[in-house]
Amino acid sequence: MAPLWDDVKNAIVEGYVYASDKAEEVTQIGRAKVEILKLNRQMARLMGDMGGRVFEMFESGEQAAIPDDESLVDSVEKICGFQKDISKWEKEIERAKVERDAGSSTE
């Protein structure tokens, strides 16, 4: 009778470990997706602000000063930084998926 209980106990432990691993994987991917959405919203807001600034400059005849406008240059630099951060989070998602696939193929 003892081996039956050992088998039940082992199955429960294995199920717990599997569920824990899946929960961690889903959490990693979910966190990365939330960060990507947040960065995309920030980029969209900056791009909208940039468009408004460029329009104002064109309207006032200052289009030649666009490349030298500090607020536009700063916004472009921020957007480039956001794009790099998004790329890092996308790699994090891919890494989590690869780990998941590697884990499921060994089971």
Coil vs helix vs strand at 38 = helix
Q: Pseudo-torsion of CA 9, 15, 17, 19, nearest 10°?
A: -150
Mean pLDDT of 20-31: 84
What is the residue type of 29? I
Coil vs helix vs strand at 1 = coil
- Residue 86 CA to chain centroid, in angstroms? 5
Residue 106's pLDDT is 56
pLDDT tens string 54-77:
999 999 998 888 888 999 999 999
**Is pLDDT at 32 greater than 80 in this prediction?**
yes
Mean pLDDT of 91-104: 82
DSSP string, 16-53: HHHHHHHHHHHHHHHHHHHHHHHHHHHHHHHHHHHHHH
First to last CA, the chain: 27
